[in-house]
Structures are given as structure tokens and as C-alpha cells.
Amino acid sequence: MTHLGYLLVGWGVSLGCGVLYAARLVLRGRDLAARVPVEHRRWMTSDDGAGSAAESAAPDQGAGS
Amino acid sequence: MSADAVNTGSRTTRLLGAAVLIGVLALILLGFFGAPEDDEQRDAVRMIFVHLPSAFGIYAAMATTAVGSVMWLWKRSRWWDIVAHSSAEIGVIFCGLTLFTGSVWGRPTWNTYWDWGDVRLVTTLILFLMLVGYLALRSAGGDENAMATRAAVVGLLAAVNVPIINRSVEWWSNRTLHQKSSLTDGNLEDLTLFTLFVGIVVWALFFVWAMIHRFRIGWLEHQLRDIDLETALIQRRAEAATESSGEESR
């Protein structure tokens, strides 16, 4: 394969940035969700999967879930 | 995991996340082993599968930021303000990746990482810097409403740049190294085109996944600010009540 170095750098940085940003979002979300009282956690769910009801009942202006 | 663990995920985001992971695996397989090499560019053409979806991601993010900014200026709805902020943050990542992958792709195909005379490169860099400025403005602090209004104006100015970036290869066709359109010029092989669409779909799904999580983070941050303000007000009232009762007893 030609230009393998360029391809690995380009693809690696793209996918790596995606993974790092995704991890940052998940961790920041966990941190914030733990600090906000339950009644203020609209759209939030717990990891036991009990969140689907909250999700379907959630937004008053469309998306977000 | 424990039932107490809370996060910004939901069934929707978990499904989206799984689809993105499967899509990325398919993209790697198709991009490196399925799609044929190009007659001129050889294997360097495989960079298109990450470069072009990132560029499309900019368009999606900036359109969302523009809509969110307009709605904030019109309705003063915090919901729309958070939408605009969330998509701008994701947009800066897509924009950075587009510049980076384009630069890395440019070296083997154009024999240069960067050309200051290329209007598309320079206008994309301007958009990137505007988005960085947008995020800096957001983190500057101060009155939340005033900050949202200033950010909305910057967001709209940045969004104006997007059609210029898109049309620049036609408006300044003698001042660009870019080809006119990879999708419509008919030079791509069928499997290359299919892989490109897979890449665009994967990036689009990632954009939606990230938007949902980032929006919820913005919402929680807003809730925390409200709670902190409320707590401070209660404390101040309690202090004032203690002071006045002390003065009365004297």
C-alpha cells in the first residue's frame, strides 16, 4: 500500500479525536449528573436502563433524546 | 453497573453509539481493503473517507449553530442557546479534523501541506479561528444572557463563512488546488463512492450522538448555575435575618 504513513496519521488522528471527545463527553456527563439533584435531571437515565420512560416523556421542545 | 450511576446516556444514545462503532469498523475495512486505489493518487485517495465526512460534519454543525443562534436571538430560549453552543463545540472538532486531514492528504497529492493562496484552505482556517473565538467567548464568564447574545452573533457570522467555503472552488477556480466536487464529478469508482457514503453516515451518526450528550451536559451546567445561585440567595437571606434579629435584641 502506498502512502501508508500519511493514511495512518490522518485516519489515526481522526478516529483518535473522536474517541477522546466521546470519552470526555461521557465522563463530564457523569460528573455533572452526579452533582445535580434528580428533579433537575431532565432527559437523564440511570445505567439500569430505567430511563426510557423519562426519555419518552422528556422534552417540551423536540429533540435532546 | 449500579442503579445509582447517573450519566447523560439513554437507550437512544447507546443504540447510536453501537451504530457508530459498527460503522467505524465497516469504514476501516472498506476504506483500507475494499475501495480500489486511484489511478493518479494511488492509495492516498483513501484519505477522502475521513476528510470529506469531516467537512460535511462542519456543514451540519454550523447549520445547527446558526438555527440555535437565530432562535436564541428571537425566542430567548435557553434550550436553543445550549443547542447552538453544543453544535459549535462539535463543529470546531470537525473543522480542525478537516484542516488536518486535508493537510496530510495534500502532501502526497499536491506536494505541499498548505497553500496560503488556496481560498478554500484559508476560509476554512478563518472558520476554525472564529469557532475557537466563539468557545473562548463562551468560557469568558459574566452575565449568561449577554454572553449568549454575543455568542449568537459570532455564531451567525461564522455560519456565513460556510457557503463561501463551499462555493470558493467555483468562485475562485484559478486560486485553489481543490477539485470542484468529489461527489458529482463522476470520477469516483462505485465502491469508493459507497465507502464515502458509509463515512458520511458514520460521521452523521457520531454528530447526533455527540450533540445529545453535549446538549445534556449544557443543560446540567445550566441547572447547576441555577442551583448555586438559589443556594447563595438562601444563605444571604439567612445571614440578613440573623443580623436583623441581633440588632433587634440589642
Residue B248 in any domain: the answer is no
Structural domain boundaries enclosing B152:
16-36+44-176+189-228
Q: What is the pLDDT of residue A50?
A: 40
Residue B241 covered by a domain: no
Q: Is residue B95 part of a domain?
A: yes
Residue among B6, B17, B206 minimizing CB distance to A41: B6
**B216 C-beta neighbours (distance < 10 Å), count:** 28
Whether residue B131 is contained in a domain is answered as yes
In a domain, B56, yes or no: yes
Q: Is B3 part of any domain?
A: no
pLDDT digits (tens, 9 = 90+) for B78-120: 999 999 999 999 999 999 999 999 999 999 998 899 999 889 9
Does B239 map to a domain?
no
Which of residues B137 and A46 earns the better pLDDT score? B137
Return the top range by mean pLDDT from A37-41, A47-51, B138-142, B148-152.
Answer: B148-152
B112 touches A at CB < 8 Å: no
Query: What band does B174 get if pLDDT is binned at 50, 70 and 90?
Result: confident
Which among B96, B100, B215 has CB closest to A64?
A: B215
Domain contains B234 = no
pLDDT of residue A14: 96
Three-point CA angle A18, B178, B164, nearest 5°: 80
> What pLDDT does A59 receive?
38
| Bigger pLDDT: B226 vs B32 | B32
Q: By CA distance, what is B223's nearest residue in A?
A: A40
Nearest Cα to Cα of residue A28 among B208, B2, B89, B7: B7
Look at the pTM and tell me if it is higher than 0.90: no
Interface predicted TM-score (ipTM): 0.87
- B214 neighbourhood in chain A, CB within 8 Å: 25
Least confident of A47-61, B183-197, B211-225: A47-61
Overall number of domains in chain B? 1
DSSP code per residue over B106-144 = HHHHHS-S--TT-HHHHHHHHHHHHHHHHHHHHTT-S-H
**Domain positions in chain A:** 1-36
Give A-chain residues touching B43 at CB under 8 angstroms: 1-4, 7
